[in-house]
Structures are given as structure tokens and as C-alpha cells.
Structure 1
Amino acid sequence: MKIAYISTYTPRLCGIATFTKDLLAAMEYNDNQQVLEQHVFAVSDSVNVYDYPMEVVFEIAQQRHADYVGAAKIMNSGGYDLCVLEHEYGIYGGNSGVYILSLLHKLTIPVVVNLHTVLDNPSADEREILKSIAAKADKLVVMSAYAVDILQEVYHIPLAKIVVIPHGVPHFPNDQQTAKALLGLADKKILLTFGFLGHSKGIDLVLRALPSVLAAAPDLVYLIVGKTHPSIVQQEGEVYRQQLENLVDELGIAAQVQFVDQFVDEEGLTNYLSACDAYITPYRNEAQMTSGTLAYAVGAGAAVVSTPYWHAKELLKDGRGLFVDFEDTKSIAATLQRLFTDAAYLKEVRQRVAHEKHRLSWKKLASNYRETFMQVRQDYLFSDDSLAAERYTMPPMDMQHIRRLTNQVGIVQHATYATPNHHHGYCLDDNARALILALMLGKEQWTTELDELVSVYISYIYYAQREDGLFKNFMSFDNRFLEEIGSEDAFGRAIWALGYLVASRSKESYKQIGKEMFMRAVPHFKTFRSLRAVAYVVLGLTHYLEEQPQNKELRAELQTLVSFMMAEYRSNSDTNWHWFEKIVSYDNAILPLAMFRAHRFLQDESLAEVALATAGFLDRILFRDGNLSLIGNEGWYQEAGIFAQFGQQPIEVYSTMLLYEAWYSFTDNAHYLDRIKTTYEWFLGNNDLHLSLYDAESGGCCDGLEAYGVNRNQGAESSITFWLASAHMQRALAAYPALQSSFNKSLRLTVA
């Protein structure tokens, strides 16, 4: 079996790196059934350069997203039978380690995940990341029964997917007296804490308890073995260690406390553990799912004193250790004083865990891992679902967040998370989009609520239009317009919405005011030079012409606008660059979409040729990595340049869906129906970070994919375009039976 491990790895100073090294060694030792080939894809930080051993075949720079994608390609093509992921949020790139999803979801081999952290109260990112990992994993390995309960209750992961394998411990070659002698402490009683230093470890609590213990047991030495955690050193230096050292001096116990400021190797570690009489782990937080240091201490046969965090409660139950209360120095002092003044009691406590070193030995647990790996591989090979595409479920229509953002004036632009942010007021663009959404939903059923929303959005557009037909755009929350004339793009979106209104089945009074505003703006159409503004106006014109197909004035305006677009295309395109500009930037699909729509009315074949050429060009860009990967706003994509991956915006998705539908209507090629579905799934997690942007709790949509992860704010633009896309998806499912078969679930579109 050929296995790829994704993890930090020695010589990087990291507990998970040590865990992975121990697991590889144990698997090699137990390799008595077949040839085993093990490779490590090591995750490196940005601070140090590591001289990795030969089993490391690829290095993933923690914050370089492309490395994760590259690692997946190597695993898929390298003949690997299995991938083993060691998961801890902090060791991978992006918010809460989101980059690891880009690797996992591109793998075409089975995956086993060792979960080193399972949180009972995760953040939104942490919850979605673990759920996404679980969806991709064939098995999740946890090290305690507590983790099983949390995975089921908090993350809704089925029990059949979870395996419990305890944390392994090394071989301890020396007896206690030999180990003490090697440390030069043969005549001492030893209390030990080891591992990375940090405030959460509670070592200061032990120090404050020590004076009374030392008064009763003057031959006691407290060894604090380990370096400060590298991330803490990076953020604040050695502040905590210095505080501990100052506390030792203040308490007058420097002669009985020894700091060993080093990351000890396994030989040194086993010696410290074998030598100690008692081991103390006074963590401050109950939510500690796995502690390798605790497992090592139990495996060494030490009398363990601990606060009752999750892993400790499980590993030390049935009298295998002693518990002290959180943040309670008196409890610590009393427990330690009894241990170190009553030799019989100390011996009794140690004897309770004497047999644990065999149960927890890496050699024994490696057989559990091997059995799990073999079963996963076998199930994968013989499963019909092993190569099945990932499935996404479309949510039912839920207008609660749109209502939340809308007041009697209009829809508020921005939100902080799901709470309307009034500081930024309103804009014409969002009210135009919101009008289209409300009218689209009204096609299914015209309700009182939709009527009220339509009235509000029309009212804003009407108030924003000047007497000369131009539009203002931004309005403060105290109802003051912030500029005399808005952008061309805002004007264009307003015309798109007004054209849609005229062609809609809404009240005649609404359509009449829409026609009036539209015709007042017509003289300005030919003055625009923003390509996207022109494209939006083209869409508005084509909607209006659905209502009045013989309107010669509007047909002439349409011809003028597309002639301008054609001229821009001829000026900027060449053999390899079939685009309207020398840059591919925002809301790109709207440009070829406008050409397709104009062709329906003008029947000019040159429009169709440009629409097909530019749509094909854009399609190759957007699906360069298999899933929809939008051009990000952090630099866009210039001719002969590189793709900006992040700053991906939801607005792009809806217009891209419209483009693929127009393309399908023109060619009758079912491939473009599938593109509609795949494009929509960007919202639900089929994207570069494999995280859903839809928030079922709020009914809103997050504002985009950034380099760090999902932008969790849920502004009007993103939420409106998500529901526009959902409404369009529902309509497409009803209109095209072939699309229905490729989408896993159809939900009737009803206003919640």
C-alpha cells in the first residue's frame, strides 16, 4: 500500500509533526502483510526552513493556496492508494485552515482524517470546514469518545463514519531509578510538566501551589520541560516564560524548579517521563479534545494530576488519575501534598495505570490504523459512489434577509455579518437588483409582501432619477444623495431593472412608471463608454422589446449600443485574446450575454459570432480548474498576465448562469445546461475554497471568497444575487428536464 500523509513533520517543532512521525514508524514496524510505501506532504510555516528527511516528498507552504492544489495533483497521479490527513485548524492556510479543503476536494483517492481538535462551540468557519472535511473523508479517526458525541451532535456526522483510536505512546526503555540517575536526580521526587508553554497550560497555577507542597516535601523538584509554542513566540515573544520565571523568583522556589527550554527528542522525552513520580496537566479550558502529553504520561506509568478537560476525563476515569478543579491552586496544593508525603498512596496511584503503556503503545495501535486503512481502501474500490460527483442541495426560497435589509426607503447596501449596516446607506444598483428579484418571484405568485417590496424599490429608483433622465446613486441613511450624477454602471443596472419591469406581469401602474422612467433615460444611452453599462442597457432594451417588439426607436438604440461593443471587441481582440478589453475584470459574463440577447432581435450573425467567441474565451478562464473559479478583484486578469484568484464576488455567478442559458438556447448543447448547474453550485460550496456562501440561519449570502476564506458579511448585492440565481435555477429546472436529472434535489420556490 502506498500512503500519502498530509501533516506538519519533524524537524518542525509541532506536536502533530511528532505524532505523524510516530505513526509512520509504527506502521513500518507492523508491516508484516505487504509492502508499505509512506510519503509525507509536509506543511511548512513561513518563518523557518526545514531540512526534512527523505520520506517528505512535497512541501506545502502554509499560506500558498497553489501548493495545496499542486499536492492534490501529485497524489492523484502518483499511484497512491490512500491519503491520511492530520487535521488541526491552525496548521493550514487561510481562516481556520480553509486551504486544506482545496486539496481534499480535488483528490481521487480515499481519505482518512485524524481529527486532533473537535470543537463543541465552533465559529462559522470552523463548523463549515469540519463538515466539508467530513463530507470528503471516508473515515474520521478521533482519540476519545467525547469527540464522537460532539461530531454527531454538533456537526451531524454519522456514527458509521467515525473510528476511535487512542493517542499512541512510545516505548519507555528505562526504569524509574535509571531514568532519575540519568537526569542527576536519583535522590529526588520529581513532578513534571512537558510540552509547549502557553498561558492555557496553567503552569503558573502549579507554581503558586508549590510553596506549601515544598514545605512538606523538601526533596521535590518540579521540571518544566518544553519550549514556548512557536506561534506564541511569533506573536508576543517569551512573555509567558518570563512571567513564570519571575513568579518562581517571587515565590522563592528557584532551587526546586527547573526550566528545560528545549524541544526534547523521543529518547529524552521518554527518560523524563520514566523518571517522574507525578505528572501534572492543569489546563485552563475544558474543551481540550486530545492531549498527546497526557497520553504519554499515562503510558509512562506516572501518577497524573489534571484538571477535568475532556481528554483527561476519559483517559483518567476509573481511578487512573487524580483531578483538581480549574483555576484552583488550593486543590492543586492539597493533591500534590498528599502524593508527595504519602509514599504508599503515590505507589497505589501509579499502579492503577501500569498496564496502560501496553494498551496505548504505538505498536499496538498501528494495527488499528492498518485495519482502518485497508478497510477504507477496499470499500472505496468496490463502492459505486467512489467516483461520484459531490452533491449539493438547493435551499428553498427565504426572503428573511432581504426583508431585514429593506425599509421604507429602499434596501440597505451593506451588512455586518447578517445585521444591516446603516453607515453606508443605500445605492441605486442594489435597489435595481432587488426590484428584478421581487418581480421574478412575483411570476410564481403575486403576494402582498412582494407588492410592498416592488413598490419600495420602484420608489427608490424614481426618487434617484433626475429630471434630465440621468440617475443619482448613493444615498446616506439620513436620505441625502451623495452625488449629483451616479456612475454609468448604476444607470445601466437601473435600465435593466426598468426594462424587466415593463416586460413583467406586475401591476399596470408599476409598468407605467417604469416606461416613463425608461423613456426619460433613452437620450443618454448612446453617450456611455463603460462596456458593462452599455451591456446592462442592452439587457434592459431587450426586455422592453419583449413588450414592444416593433418599437423602431428602441431597436435603433439597441443597434447603436451593440455596434459600440463590436467596435471595442475588434479593437482589443486578437488570435489568442477573444475579449472586449485587454483585461477580464468584473461581471464579465454580462458582455457576451448582451450580444446573445441582442442577436435575438437584430438577427445580425456577426453578433452571434462575437457572442460565441467571447463566451468560449470566458468559459475556458472560469473553468480552468474544473469547478467555477471566478476572476478575483485582487488584480483581475490582464492579457499575458496571471489570474487573480481571490476577491471572487457573488454577482459574477448570476450573470454567468444567464450567459450559459443563452448559450444553450442558441446551440441546444446540453453541456451548457450542466454549466448552469455547476455555476450555481459555486454558492453552495463547489468553489475554490469548498465552503458554502449561503447562510441558512439568516437567509443571506456571504459577500465573497477572499484569500483568507469566506467574507462573512451578508450585504445586499451578494444576497440579492444569490436569490436571483436560486430563482433562476428553479425556473431552469422546470424548463429543462435534462437539467433536472443532474441536480440532486428540486425544491419548489416559495417565499418563506
Structure 2
Amino acid sequence: MAHLDYFIIEPVGGHGGMNYYNTGLGQGLVLNNACVHLYTCPESQEQSSNNFTINKFFKGVYGKSNKIVRLARFVMALTRSIIDIKKKGGKICHLHFFQYSLLELITCNLLKFSGIKIVATVHDVESFSGNSLTGTHTSILRAPEEFIVHNEFSRQELRSVISAQGIDKKIAIIPHGNYLPFVKRRETVLSRQHLSLPVDKKLILFFGQIKKVKGLDVLLSAMEIVSKREPDAVLLIAGKVWKDSFQHYEEIIKSKNISNVVIPHIRYINDEDVDFYYSSADIVVLPYKKIYQSGVLLMAMSYGCITVSSRLPAMVEVVDDSRNGFLFETDNPQDLARQILVALGSSAAEDISKNARAEMIEKHDWKRVARQHIKVFETYE
């Protein structure tokens, strides 16, 4: 069977945690007899391997340096990527949409101008929602031949958005792959010692970017209740703030008088420390107010962690309450506190952990996920 050349332009890479996704999908594609060509940034530590070429062209396009300089670097890297795709005979390219800015518009326009078709995975429909759609948004929406989303909720939301713009395109549902190839469960006590965490406490982990939609305020309100019922419980907050202020949460912590049970690690968590954070946790809480897909949930379940998640459509598609995790009523601190206490005291913790990993193996295997991507890709070859 002839190899399929599969081209992916995904500049974020290791700068924003997409290196796991890129590597998982790339390896899955290779297992399906594809030759993968990924165009990303140098922050991705992964190296090229057999039939999987990683081109780290997007150097210096993120950060705090001059915006004009970064834009010029982006356009140069994009041009270089497109030239390479054309040189290799590529006719279609896979993009990932997280936001819908000038960079996405330039990418779509240059690819279309070069005669290269686009298939795009939409990770965040939110930026397309509401009454604030601009010409940029609409142009980006019109560019792909087909969209990919990770669940039915996202498909419904995206369908509503594009229909309102008079756009009719296919939207394929392909699950987000698991993190099993990248995680290493470590011994709990040693992990806590590595991070200078208390070894004799019941540790509740909030992991990932801190922004308003993530519902950290709900979790802090719940911790006021939890700490009274379970004095050994502590909350570890690990992640950097994004378009938010941690001062707001500090004020909640102070007003709830829970400073003694909250451990803030408010910073970017390096890849080499991620294993230690998840391995330290008794449970992982995802108190989100709205989400289209949660990489944190899939990562936690890949570690076999006990999760407590908001009862949101995207979560319900993955979590079977009390079987492979726990769900609580969204934006309800009282119900969250109740479920945290249930999870911390569950006699079925071992079975729930096994079921969580089994869910990742059975429904989020990268080879299976990649096969579905190839089916979409080949439609436009």
C-alpha cells in the first residue's frame, strides 16, 4: 500500500501544550501507514522519527517581543512550510483553530492562494459564538473544506455558528486522543516530596490555565465546605493565569478563611513536572463553567486519577458518573463539595481508576483516532 502524505501546520506546539496532541496524532498516523509532515515551533522537544518529520520553522512567533517582528517571523515560517508542502506534492493541510485572529486568516489565505485545501480541527467554538463575528471570523470559517470537532456538543455549537453565516460544511466528530503514550504514574509520596507538598494530606488538584471559565471560584467556595468536613483535605492550584487575575482568587481565599488549605503554584508547569503533579493527587477537580473539550480531563484519566467534573455536555460524553469519575452540577459549590467528599472517601477508588484508563484505551486510542483523520483527509486528496 502506498504511503499517504499527511501535512499538519500547528505552530503552538510545546509553547502551549499541543506537542502532546501533535505527537499522539502523528504517531497514530504513522501506525496507519501515513508519512507525517508537521510544521510547528522549537518549543516542542519531540524529534523527527521514521515517517514522522517535525519541522520546527515557527521560531520566535510567540512571547513578548515586538508584535510586528513576531508577525514577520510567522509569515516567513508559514511561507517556508507551504513551499515545503508544495515541494512534496501536498494538496491538503490540517490546521487547528484555537482562536480566530489575523494569524489564522493569513494562514488560510496563503494556503488557499497556494492551491492547498484545508481541513481544520476546531478546539474552541466560543470565539466564533455571539454577535461579535467579524469579517475575519467569517473568512476563516469559509476556508476549510471540512471541520473536525471532538464531540457532539461542539458539532452542534459549530453548526449553529456556520449556519447563521450561510455556510454549509461537513463537520466530523473525531475524539481527542489519550495521553497514555506520554504519562508515567509515579509513587505518590515521592512525587509530593519532589514538589515539596505535604505527604500526609488528602490532596485535591486543580491543574491547567487559570481563567474565568475554568470555575476556580466555584472550587474555592466548595473548599470552605470540604475543609470543615475533611480537615486533612488540601487544594493544590497548579497553572498560569490567562486573561484573568489571581488577585480575585486570593480575595476569595482570604474571605473564606481557607488560606491554610490552599497551596498555590501559580506558574507555567514544565513538562518534566507534570507526572509529579498528577501522581501527587488523590483527586483532580475540573469545575469548569463551559468547555468544548478538556485535555486536562483526558490527561487525568490517562494517569488513572479520580476526577470530579462539572456536568457539562462535553464532560458527560467522557465521564460515566461514579464508574470512571464523578460529576457535579455546574456552578454549584455545595454539590461540588459533596462530590469531592464522596470521591475522597470512595471505597471503589481502585475500580474507578482502572475504568478511567480503560475509557482512554478503548475510546481515545491514537491509532483509531488517526484512522478517522485519514478518512477525512483522503476525501480531498
Same fold at TM > 0.5? yes
Aligned-residue offset at 1:206:
1.6
Q: CA deviation digits over 1:489-548, x for unaligned, max 9?
A: xxxxxxxxxxxxxxxxxxxxxxxxxxxxxxxxxxxxxxxxxxxxxxxxxxxxxxxxxxxx
> CA 1:219–1:322 in 2, change beyond 3 Å: closer, same or farther?
same
Q: Which residue of 2 aligns with 1:103?
A: 110
Q: Residue 184 of structure 2 corresponds to which residue in structure 1?
A: 173
CA distance, structure 2, for counterparts of residue 193 and residue 278 of structure 1: 9
3-state SS of paired residue (1:263): coil
Is the CA contact 2:82–2:111 (under 8 Å) kept in the aligned structure 1?
no
1:197 matched to 2:210? The reply is yes
Give the drift of 1:155. Answer: 2.0
Report sequence identity in percent.
18
* Inter-partner Cα distance in structure 1 for 2:40 and 2:183: 29
Counterpart contact for 2:13–2:22, Cα < 8 Å: no
Name whichever structure is richer in helix by fraction: 1
- Contact preservation (8 Å) 2:185, 2:303: no
Which residue is equivalent to 2:50?
none
* Equivalent pair of 2:6/2:34 in contact (CA under 8 Å): no
Change (3 A) 1:266 1:24: same
Answer 1 or 2: higher relative contact order, Cα 8 Å, separation at least 6.
2
Q: Does 1:332 align with 2:336?
A: yes
TM-score between both structures, scaled by the size of structure 2:
0.76
The alignment partner of 1:355 has SS state of: helix
CA apart distance, 1:352:
4.5
Shift of 1:37: 4.5
Give, as a single letter, the amino acid of the residue that structure 2 aligns with 1:204: D
* 1:113 CA drift (Å): 1.2
Match status 1:8 vs 2:16: no
Structure 2: segments with no counterpart, 5+ residues: 46-53
Match among 87, 93, 99 for residue 78 of structure 1: 87
How far off is 1:146 after superposition?
A: 1.2
**Residues 367 and 55 (structure 1 numbering): CA distance in 2 closer, same or farther, change over 3 Å?**
farther
Evaluate the alpha carbon distance shift between residue 163 and residue 343 of structure 1 in structure 2; reply closer, same or farther with a 3 A threshold.
closer
1:321 matched to 2:322:
no
Q: Aligned partners of 1:253 and 1:199: how far apart in 2?
A: 20
2:300 aligned partner: 297
Q: Is the 8 A contact 1:138 1:376 kept in 2?
A: no
AA paired with 2:75?
D
CA RMSD of aligned residues (A): 3.6
Indicate the residue corresponding to 2:144 in structure 1: 137
Cα distance in 2 between the residues matched to 1:32 and 1:101: 29
For residues 396-545 of structure 1, the aligned pairs below 5 Å read none
In the alignment, the residues of structure 2 paired with residue 372 and residue 136 of structure 1 have an alpha-carbon distance, to the nearest angstrom, of 18
Contact 1:104 1:133 in 2 (8 A): no
Whether the 8 Å contact between 2:149 and 2:171 is mirrored in structure 1 is: no
**CA–CA distance in structure 2, aligned partners of residues 51 and 325 of structure 1:** 38
CA-CA distance at 1:98 after TM superposition: 3.7
Partner residue in 2 for 1:36? 35
Task: Please tell me the residue identity of whatever aligns with 1:372.
Answer: H
Instruction: Supply the distance in 2 between the matched residues of 1:360 and 1:304 (Cα, whole angstroms).
Output: 18
> Is the CA contact 1:193–1:281 (under 8 Å) kept in the aligned structure 2?
yes
C-alpha contact (below 8 Å) 2:111/2:117 kept by paired residues = no
Amino acid at match of 1:264: I
Deviations 1:683-712 (CA, angstroms, capped at 9, x unpaired): xxxxxxxxxxxxxxxxxxxxxxxxxxxxxx
Mind listing any 5+ residue stretches in structure 1 that lack a counterpart? 43-49, 234-239, 382-752
| Kept after mapping to 1: 8 A contact 2:237/2:265 | yes
Secondary structure at the aligned position of 1:311 is classed as helix
Distance 2:88 2:27 in 1: 19
2:369 is aligned to: 368
User: Which stretch of structure 1 is more off in the superposition, 28-37 or 103-112?
Assistant: 28-37
Residue 317 of structure 2: SS of its match in structure 1?
helix
**Residues 104, 311 of structure 1: alpha-carbon distance in 2 compared, 3 angstrom cutoff:** farther
What pairs with 1:538-553 in structure 2 (closer than 5 Å)?
none
Supply the distance in 1 between the matched residues of 2:114 and 2:293 (Cα, whole angstroms).
27
Per-residue deviation, residues 404-457 of structure 1 (Å, max 9, x unmatched): xxxxxxxxxxxxxxxxxxxxxxxxxxxxxxxxxxxxxxxxxxxxxxxxxxxxxx
User: Who wins on radius of gyration, i.e. which is larger?
Assistant: 1
Verify the 8 A CA contact 2:311 2:330 in the aligned structure 1. yes
- The offset of 1:225, in angstroms, is 0.6
In structure 1, the residue matched to 2:26 is: 27
Partner of residue 245, structure 1: 250
Give the CA deviation at 1:278: 1.6
Residue among 215, 218, 221 paired with 2:228: 215
Q: Which residue of 2 aligns with 1:676?
A: none
